[in-house]
Structure 1
Amino acid sequence: MKNNHCDVLIIGGGIIGHSISCYLNKSGVHAAVVEKQASGGKATQAAAGMLGVHTENEGVGKYHQFCEKSRDMYTGLAQELRELTSIDIGLSHFGMMEIAVKDEEKEALLLKKSTFRNLEWLETPIDRIPSLSDKASGALFMKDDGHVEPRQVCESFKRAALLYGGDLLEDRTVLRVKNNQGSFTVHLDSCSLTAEHVVVASGAESGQWFETTGLPNPIVPTKGESFSIKLRENYFNEALFFRDFYVVPKPDGRCIIGATSKPDDKTTNTSVGGLSSLMNLLFSLFPEWKEAAFQDFWSGIRPGTEDGVPVIGEHPFISNLYFATGHYRNGILLAPATGQLIEKQITKKPIDPSIQELFSPSRLAEKGEWTYEYSS
């Protein structure tokens, strides 16, 4: 990094941070990512990679449109990133199914079908998923939704950003950020950097940056536990979404089953109880899968928010300080659109005002003071 200076310093090397870096460096803005461990080692690596536009939205609106846009960006990105980095991001075009088991779940899905008319109702999902129990009473098929490999997406964004001229500092901790009224000095454990802009994209660890800059902390860290199995044969290609769990089949034969949801749990272990609850849910609908080969288990901390909406935009009081966090379980889905939105804000490109307002940190600015110097 020339003279220890960059245009934009991004705190956090998950899929969101590297997406922002990729879009900025591609547009000619020199961005550097600082990550205190290895890139993609936290919530990104724990995700199943679902692009569940319709499982995450009950109705049409700006948030739904933003999700839909981000999902659609993956088609072009899959080709662009593969040509640039030789990484296949594992984009699935087989769609998703949201499956009802109880009467009230079926009613809710039929209501959703009336809202999203492009979705297909399946009265007997067992026709497509032979191993599924006949307890399933119907399903919505979402042909345009799908999934990717999160680690591969993160790695391809990282490599693309570097190829576009970006920088990456891993195993470095941000100790303190000094606001120079328009620019910043960022003190790391090994050196100091200067930047014209700073973006906080540190997931569940972002809360401290709200608190020390005069904003209420909206981040609700939510632990999720998952495991993977290998089936004896390939039964299906669609990602399956139930009220309390999901199943995501991968091309290499893995099936990812997740995930528990434990708000305010920051522990890093994967609990026996969490895995047991998931297995009970799974085997109640796929009883023959008890014979599947158990592969792996893991946990991760999702960065939720109190109002359920990510925080993406400039600090209301501190110029050139931005947030890109709080995506909860939609970080993979929203990574492309989030990277592009931050790039547009920093380069002063036109943005839909309603989108900017929806995600703006200004909605948090109801109390508190801020100082010129703050620390992590």
Structure 2
Amino acid sequence: MRADVIVIGGGVMGLLSAYLLANAGKRVTLLDRSAAGSEASWAGGGIVSPLYPWRYSQAVTALAHWSQDYYPGLGQQLLALTGVDPEVHVTGLYWLDQDDQADALAWAQREGRPLHEVPVESAYAAVPSLGAGFLRAIYMSGVANVRNPRLVKALRAALQGMPLVTLREHTSVAGFVQDGARICGVRTGDGELLADHVVVTAGAWSGELLQSLGLSLPVVPVKGQMILFKCAEDFLPSMVLAGGRYAIPRRDGHILVGSTLEHVGFDKTPTEDALASLRASAETLLPGLESAELVGHWAGLRPGSPEGIPFIGEVPGHDGLWLNCGHYRNGLVLAPASCQLLADLMLGREPIIDPAPYAPLGRLG
């Protein structure tokens, strides 16, 4: 059956875009070349905030603020619907010895965000596992992390229960079907699939897909490596960030530490050098991790983009072709707002925020 919308890419952007469009009555076919949610959406940390929110443009800030408010309700909705808890875990976040602390505080005052300088002693009192020697701290209350592997599992389960959604995993897209200037479907190994609209949510691979149309989308893979420890459930009560590395507590005592930033193309092989560097950072930040069980080390590919501003909207000159990609380091935090904005634009609704900064117009080669 012909779909209203084909979504290419089953990460959090594709899953949530499909979910919102199907909820609005659209017939959606979601395609992924492997298993849904198995790339960057699975590999990331899941902090529901940009790592350094004061360093980003208003375009990123607007998406982040909307999403932060939306996440708790989304988590509850998916748990009720699927029985899978994405674990939206509110812990707050401490930044330690931040060089641009003054910029952070000015941003918080300007944006009305609950980020404040705190005595370093209060950081040590709140996080007894913190390493010695830190001199300054700023803290933002209300910051959550989402257990992203469970988020994508919950979204996938929700889609499988929706009669308007067809999920086709292990289906690669080789190109687009065109009717004049209009995009009206995709070519796969199983043949052509047709739809009124095609949405590219293929993360780091989005640029490669658009090359077949002679379009240059400035989205490139940026490798990030992470490690995972298992500790007591009360080992780390808050997220902490210092020296460019962060530690994220899950409710069950797992601690994520990340991450690297590597421009090595599509290679996502974990390396011993990164493991050593991440372990050293982890043990400086939280010395108790030296004796903790290391249970995982992996890499993922972020969709790097200029200034981290995603591409959301219809591609000019290619009617029917839409983008929701290029979120760089902030895919998980920006996903709810990005997907809601995409749905608003596709459905002709009043958009939740000004769509102009994300429009592909003038941003593609």
- CA offsets 1:260-280 (integer angstroms, 9 cap, x no match): 000243212100101111122
Aligned twin of 1:142: 140
Aligned twin of 2:289: 289
Pick from 54, 58, 61: which aligns with 2:55? 58
- CA offsets 1:175-224 (integer angstroms, 9 cap, x no match): 22111244513221123211100001111111123333333231121000
Q: Is this contact kept in 2: 1:50–1:147, CA < 8 A?
A: yes
Q: Is this contact kept in 2: 1:314–1:361, CA < 8 A?
A: yes
- CA apart distance, 1:100: 1.8
- CA apart distance, 1:241: 2.2
Aligned twin of 2:363: 364
Distance in structure 1 (CA, Å) of the matches to 2:215 and 2:134: 45
C-alpha distance 233-192 of structure 1, shift in aligned 2 (>3 A) = closer
Q: Is this contact kept in 2: 1:39–1:170, CA < 8 A?
A: yes
Between 153-162 and 71-80, the greater mean CA deviation after superposition: 153-162
Distance in structure 1 (CA, Å) of the matches to 2:316 and 2:4: 20
Aligned twin of 1:42: 39
- CA apart distance, 1:243: 3.8
Aligned residues: 360
Between 68-77 and 50-59, the greater mean CA deviation after superposition: 50-59
Q: Secondary structure at the match of 1:302?
A: strand
Aligned twin of 1:206: 206
- CA apart distance, 1:298: 0.5
Distance in structure 2 (CA, Å) of the matches to 1:237 and 1:230: 14
Distance in structure 1 (CA, Å) of the matches to 2:33 and 2:333: 24
Identity, % of aligned positions:
26
Aligned twin of 1:374: none
Find runs of 4+ consecutive structure 1 residues off by over 6 angstroms: none
Q: What is the one-letter code of the residue matched to 2:209?
A: W
State the Cα RMSD in Å. Answer: 2.0
- CA apart distance, 1:109: 4.0
Between 106-115 and 160-169, the greater mean CA deviation after superposition: 106-115
Distance in structure 1 (CA, Å) of the matches to 2:334 and 2:131: 33
Q: Is this contact kept in 2: 1:135–1:285, CA < 8 A?
A: no
Q: Is this contact kept in 2: 1:186–1:194, CA < 8 A?
A: yes
- CA offsets 1:151-174 (integer angstroms, 9 cap, x no match): 211122222233232110001111
Between 213-222 and 143-152, the greater mean CA deviation after superposition: 213-222
- CA apart distance, 1:14: 0.7
Gaps of 5+ in 1: 368-376
Q: What is the one-letter code of the residue matched to 1:269?
A: T
TM-score normalised to the size of structure 1?
0.90
Pick from 103, 117, 124: which aligns with 1:121? 117
- CA apart distance, 1:301: 0.5
Distance in structure 1 (CA, Å) of the matches to 2:336 and 2:250: 21
C-alpha distance 328-59 of structure 1, shift in aligned 2 (>3 A) = closer
Distance in structure 2 (CA, Å) of the matches to 1:240 and 1:339: 28
Distance in structure 2 (CA, Å) of the matches to 1:313 and 1:112: 28
Aligned twin of 1:329: 329
C-alpha distance 60-139 of structure 1, shift in aligned 2 (>3 A) = farther
Gaps of 5+ in 2: none
- CA apart distance, 1:107: 4.2
Q: What is the one-letter code of the residue matched to 1:322?
A: W
Between 145-154 and 282-291, the greater mean CA deviation after superposition: 282-291
Q: Secondary structure at the match of 2:316?
A: coil
